[in-house]
Amino acid sequence: MQTSRAHHSLFHPCFWHHLELIPEERVIRLIKSTEALSALINNFDRIRSLKITLVFLCFHYVAALEYMEQQQQQTNNPPDELPVPLRLAKPAWHLSPSYRPQMQTVKPLPLFTHLSRLHVNLETLHGGRYLSYAINMHNTSPLVFTVCWLVGLNPGLTDLRIHGLEVPTPLCIRVLARSISRLHNLKCLELKATSSSRPTFYDVAKVFFALPQSIVSFRWKGDLIHFAPIPDLNVSQRDLDWDEGIVVERQEPLQNLRVLELPSDTTGYLYLQLKHIFNHCPMVESLEFPFINPEDNDCYDMVDVIKANCPRIRRVFVGHQYRDGRGRCILGVTESLPRQQLEMLHFTGIQDDSPGRLGTTVTSHSVTLRRIVFREAIRLQSNGIQEILASCCALEHLEISGLRHSRLAITLADATLAPWVCTNLKYLGLAVNLGNYNLPQPGLGEEQRRWTTLEAFYRNVGRLTKLEILDLKSVAVGLNPIGNEVDQIPESRVFPRLLVLEDKTVNKRGYLAMLEGLKDLRELRGSVRLDAVEWALDSFATVGQAEAEWMASNWKHLRLATFLPENHDKMPMIDVPEYLRWLQTQLPDLRLSRQFEARYHASPMVFSSNSAPYTSRRSFTSSRSFITPRASATSSGYIAGPAFTAGSFLTAGSAFIGSAVFTEGSTSSSSGSTASYAYSVPPVSVVSPESTAAPASFASSSFAASSSSSVDHPSYIPSPAFTAATAIIAATQSSNPLLPPPPPSSEP
């Protein structure tokens, strides 16, 4: 672009097609930079996709009002004769903001009128990182009108997402419904309510019946208020939107709607409410299943309604526990669908108490099912899991997890009953009940039978050549001191000889070579800890350099193997064996344990497990197959011990004052890597509960302190742009237009 005028004119619009102003730092830099504002003004017509938070939303509204008045003065036209976009800048239901007098120096900005995608986030996480300490960031209801004003300026929107939505008054709902009904090209609408201001079903229905015929995906996330008076959504002369007229409800079904998600109702929807909704969804394919109270409704009536009105369902999601009688209604819906149609079943809190019920659903859709996820499951039958592995030939993702693994596990006998046909699996998360292989064997024949069964199980796993994530948990039940049954921790158990190579010269069994076909394996999780006690019970189960060389040769894409305790790199008492350190030299991106991070929640300090390690000296010793905890001295703010996995700790009623060093990092998860801010923990000092710490300044230079030095209070120096943005949001959410003065600067 800098060497060719033709390339510059060709590619310059691409840089302005999508504008994302999510971090407040970008908005602050934009407000302060005259060149940036000029570039934004010159390229307003090129922007088609906009992603913002409430900071830029308020700033742009004031700047747009300045622009509108400037245009009116230049043309000398009365407001009624202005172009439509300019008239929409001041609708009757949106009064002039009280914070405008404080923004006299705002440079006029044109109006967004060519957007096709608009994402607005009004939530505290993105809206008040710098401002939450000074003002209340939980009341964003006045900003709904500003968002609707922006939506009205862009009738060509196809994708609209509003997070942090608050609709506390009928006026808010009417304005929102009208704005959406006028978007005749809208395809995707996603609304997310806040926990402090939950809508009623009648609010949701008002928006649903205002959706245009073009809508393809409608999602309203959050919770409903069940026991609430029915709001009066009719318009009267005393309302600010009287000139807009009534909200016209759509009478025709939505022929293009494919995805439907309604807010959660912990008490349960009524049968007639959902029937009213589903009558307008004949083409829906993806359904977030709403909770139907089994005490007040017959779940089988709901099955008949969905069967009659939504025959094309392919993907079913259940996001909360204890729904519709522990799964009877959902399984009834899946059974009523045409055979070989269901593609995805995502169920939270399933309890399959009927033997064969889950197997019936699986068998009916064994050719089309590609993804099965059972999270926070309560109980599953082993034969139902066996049906999944032995019949779902198109399955790519199988995940089963819950609190009591023993109630969700497949028995070893069922796991080896038949060969697994799901050879397309990329993710396998499974609990397996192996029994107790550490008891004395009753005889040579019985011992041989057990090893033969284990070998058949390992062979089934080895056939899954497309696996990328393998999470196998070995489960067993033990007794606590008072005699009650409890699950043993899966990390304390192992799969016998799974990670051991066979050596016939010393008559040593090993089954690691059976996993040779897993060339695409990226993560190995579950019962594979090398510090598990069961390793010591088998004298021939030794993992060493030979196994490390085999992994480096066959699992070249391996990025995570949970051989060590969580956050092991922050525990100086852990000795990493020499062969594991060698393995990391061959696979530089390999992590030997999970790393957990504490996300930012509008507090002055951030604690991250993905950060640089705590300042301490570590000693490593070579070990063949065990990781031995080492005792180390404790320091201020740090606990050393075999059972403690976090480098820093907080005590109730104490405030910590420290200087934060933020570094750009990445956090790995089962779904990939996400950018995050990591926190390098410096020494901290404990102050009394009455003391409060000023927010840490986000300086570009790092702060380093030795373990023996004290930490000074962080300094706070507000910039003019910061003060201006604070004033905008404070006045938006408060009747008092004046912002309290910023905290004084604290110098060391």
Per-residue pLDDT at 27: 81
Asked if residue 298 lies in contact with residue 271, where contact means CB atoms within 8 angstroms, the answer is: yes
- Name the residue with higher pLDDT: 51 or 109: 51
Please name which of 647, 655, 652 lies closest in space to residue 597, comparing C-alpha atoms.
647
Whether 611 maps to a domain, the answer reads: no
b/e string for 545-570 if b means 16 or more Cβ within 10 A?
Answer: eebbebbbebbeebbbbbbbbbbbbb
- Is residue 270 very low, low, confident or very high in pLDDT (cuts 50, 70, 90)? confident
Q: Is the pLDDT of residue 251 over 80?
A: yes
Domain presence at residue 311:
no
pLDDT at 34: 87
Phi, psi of 320 (to 5 degrees): -135, 155
Flag whether pLDDT at 705 surpasses 70.
no
In this structure, is residue 466 part of a structural domain?
Answer: no
pLDDT(620) > 50: no
- pLDDT above 70: percentage of residues in the chain: 67
Per the domain annotation, does 577 fall within a domain? no
Question: Is 161 a domain residue?
Answer: yes
pLDDT digits (tens, 9 = 90+) for 166-215: 887 888 888 899 999 999 999 999 999 887 778 888 889 999 999 999 99
pLDDT at 436: 65
Kindly calculate the radius of gyration of the chain based on its CA atoms and give it in whole angstroms. 30
Q: Is residue 200 in some structural domain?
A: yes
Lowest mean pLDDT among 97-101, 314-318, 643-647: 643-647
- Are 256 and 229 in contact by the 8 Å Cβ rule? The answer is no
In a domain, 73, yes or no: yes
Give yes or no for a contact between 469 and 670, defined as CB atoms under 8 angstroms apart. yes
Q: Is 511 part of a structural domain of the chain?
A: no
The predicted model gives 369-383 an average pLDDT of 91
Greater confidence (17 vs 136) lies with: 17
Domain that holds residue 126: 15-263
Task: Report how many domains make up the chain.
Answer: 1
- What predicted TM-score, i.e. pTM, was given to this entire model? 0.72
Q: What is the mean pLDDT of residues 139-144?
A: 65
Question: How many Cα atoms are found within 13 Å in the side-chain-facing hemisphere of 717?
Answer: 4
Q: Which residues contact 244 (CB under 8 A, 6 or more apart)?
A: 92, 93, 174, 175, 178, 235
Q: Scanning the structure block, which residue is given the tokens 């044109």?
A: 110
446: amino acid identity, one letter = E
Lowest mean pLDDT among 78-87, 115-124, 263-272, 661-670: 661-670
Evaluate if residue 19 carries a pLDDT over 50. yes
Distance separating alpha carbons of residues 203 and 205, to the nearest angstrom: 5
Sign of the C-alpha dihedral, residues 122, 123, 125, 128? positive
